[in-house]
């Protein structure tokens, strides 16, 4: 099932970069930029993460938190975070359960191939303060992703 604007955001509990537990429900009352990406430390994913890093203060000033999600483990997320000094948490989705709930796994031929390799598709959901999908960016411009997000916040 593909999520649409206005749908409730699927709630989840997961582990973040630093090993802490995050509950999406804890963000109710705040906007969330939940972005799915294929793999840590690859060219497109690095550009996307660095764009969000560089504009994190502006995104936060709009009342939003940023959460990145991919299927790599915490150690991979820690290396990626340290290498690029990311200033927001990355979520471990090693079984792809969060990606499946958001329809970020196995979309189309390329998505199905990525799913077989255990990778999520690149898609961003902006979740409103009430826990509903406010916007979906299904083909993010990696290098300018933060600007895309800021226009929607």
Question: Tokens 């960016």 appear where?
Answer: 137
CATH code of 118's domain: 3.40.30.10
6 domain-assigned: no
135 domain-assigned: yes
The domain of 46 spans 13-152
- pLDDT at site 116: 47
8 domain-assigned: no
Write the CA distances from 100 to 12, 37, 94, 95, 122, integer angstroms.
Answer: 12, 13, 11, 9, 13
User: CB–CB of 129/30 below 8 Å?
Assistant: yes
129 domain-assigned: yes
50 is catalytic: no
- pLDDT at site 118: 56
- pLDDT at site 104: 87
Q: Please give the tally of structural domains in the chain.
A: 1
d(CA 23, CA 89): 12
Query: What are the mean pLDDT values of the chain's consecutive 10-residue runs (153 residues total)?
Result: 92 93 96 96 95 98 97 94 97 92 70 53 95 96 96 97
d(CA 96, CA 91): 11
Q: Residues 45, 50, 62, 142: which is the catalytic one?
A: 45
- Tell me the whole-structure pTM to 2 decimals: 0.92
59 domain-assigned: yes
117 domain-assigned: yes
User: CB–CB of 134/149 below 8 Å?
Assistant: no
């Amino acid at each position: 099932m593909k999520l649409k604007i206005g749908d409730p955001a699927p709630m989840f509990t997961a582990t973040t970069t630093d090993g802490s537990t995050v509950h999406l429900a804890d963000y109710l009352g705040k906007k969330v930029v939940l972005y799915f990406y294929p793999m840590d430390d690859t060219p497109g994913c690095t550009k996307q993460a660095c764009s969000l890093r560089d504009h994190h203060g502006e995104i936060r000033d709009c009342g939003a938190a940023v959460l990145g999600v991919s299927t790599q483990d915490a150690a991979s997320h820690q290396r990626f975070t340290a290498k690029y000094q990311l200033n927001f948490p990355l979520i471990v989705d090693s079984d792809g359960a969060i990606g499946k709930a958001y329809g970020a796994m196995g979309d189309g031929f390329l998505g199905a191939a990525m799913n077989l390799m255990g990778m999520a598709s690149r898609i961003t959901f902006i979740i409103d303060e009430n826990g509903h999908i406010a916007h979906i960016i299904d083909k993010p411009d990696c290098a300018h992703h933060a600007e895309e997000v800021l226009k929607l916040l």
